[in-house]
Amino acid sequence: MTAPDRLHRRPGLRSPWRLPVNRPSPYVRRQWLGREIRRLREEHGVTSESIARALGFPRQQISALENGHLGPDIDLVSGICDYLAVGVNRRAAIMDAAADGWARGWWVADAERMGTRQAIYADLESGTKTITEYAISLIPGLLQTPAYADARLRSEPARHGDRFDPATAVAARARRQSLVLAAGGPRYEAVIDESAIRRRAADPVVVAEQLRHVIAVCTNFPSVVVQVLPADTSIRGHSAPRSAYSIYRYRDPHESRAVAVDTLTRDMIHTDPDELDPYVSLHSRLKAAALSRDSSIRLLRAAAESLTPTEGASV
């Protein structure tokens, strides 16, 4: 079999294998694999060109592997381990990461219709142990009601491609939520800026329903903790968060982590520890400055009541 014939092949399979629910994010596993392959090369003092010549693969394919691009070639990864005489345990970890990185999650088939940015988040949420978020202007997607999600998705058509379908996107968001709230799912913690609570991001009735939904989720699911960050609070070090972000911790043996930062045009994904630590440090300060769980629920209830009062309701 020639090198081109081996591209994106996994021995014994006709197509990429389906990702089990609790397996770590394929994206994160590819990033770890790429860093490990690069580390191996540097430890042995060899170039990607020399490996490419020895194994009969294009140099660009090794570069793609080290950059964590889609579909690591299992034959190539195995060949690199053989060429560099990698030890049994390290080889097993590398090959496991290659298999995980080759997987296709449920979000792949409908990525364009559900929104490619949402598909990235579904990937990152796979196999998490904890998900920690800071929301600066909107209720986080994992807490959104269908009506609120639909209003937000339809409000910014420029963020989506031609094949984007709001109904598919809302259904995908509901599926992501169900996986997080399922038995054995990750612990979910969110610090929500008060501006996201007060903002009329949809019809007032929809926003009120959304806030009551957050209260219900926090009440019914012990694994979910929401804290509101008051607008007038003092944050240690006078920190001023610049954007919304999500921090993911995984169940894999390496205890991998990732951070997704929400920007106007795209999502920035960080998996390098040096880029992760500042977000973890910032979040600890935000969490310390935010209201307690019970005080946050009281604020959410009062905000919902101010939008659509309910008969006999008390704050």
Give the tokens for residue 179. Answer: 């996986």
Between β-strands 224-229 and 245-250, what pairing exists: parallel, antiparallel or unpaired?
unpaired
Q: Measuring CA to CA, how many Å separate 132 from each of 177, 249, 282?
A: 14, 9, 12
**What per-residue confidence (pLDDT) applies to 300?**
98
d(CA 20, CA 127): 9
- Computed over every residue of the chain, the mean pLDDT equals 88
**What per-residue confidence (pLDDT) applies to 311?**
58
Q: Which residue has the tokens 């339809």?
A: 154
The pTM of the full predicted model, rounded to 2 decimals, is 0.87
Backbone angles phi, psi at 206, to 5 degrees: -65, -40
pLDDT, tens digit, for every residue of 121-147?
A: 999 999 999 999 999 999 999 999 999
Closest Cα to residue 77, out of 138, 107, 110, 33? 33
pLDDT over 90 (residue 154): no
**What per-residue confidence (pLDDT) applies to 167?**
94
DSSP, residue by residue, 158-217: GGS-TT--HHHHHHHHHHHHHHHHSTT--EEEEEEEHHHHHS--S-HHHHHHHHHHHHHH
Q: Mean pLDDT over residues 2-12, rounded?
A: 34
How many other CB atoms are there within 10 angstroms of residue 103's CB atom? 22
The answer to whether 143 and 196 are in contact (CB under 8 A) is: no
Backbone angles phi, psi at 133, to 5 degrees: -130, 155
Give the tokens for residue 294. Answer: 């019970």
The answer to whether 310 and 205 are in contact (CB under 8 A) is: no
pLDDT, tens digit, for every residue of 46-62?
A: 999 999 999 999 999 99
Higher-pLDDT residue of 258 and 274 is 258
Confidence of residue 234 (pLDDT cuts 50, 70, 90): confident
| CA 314 to the chain's CA centroid | 37
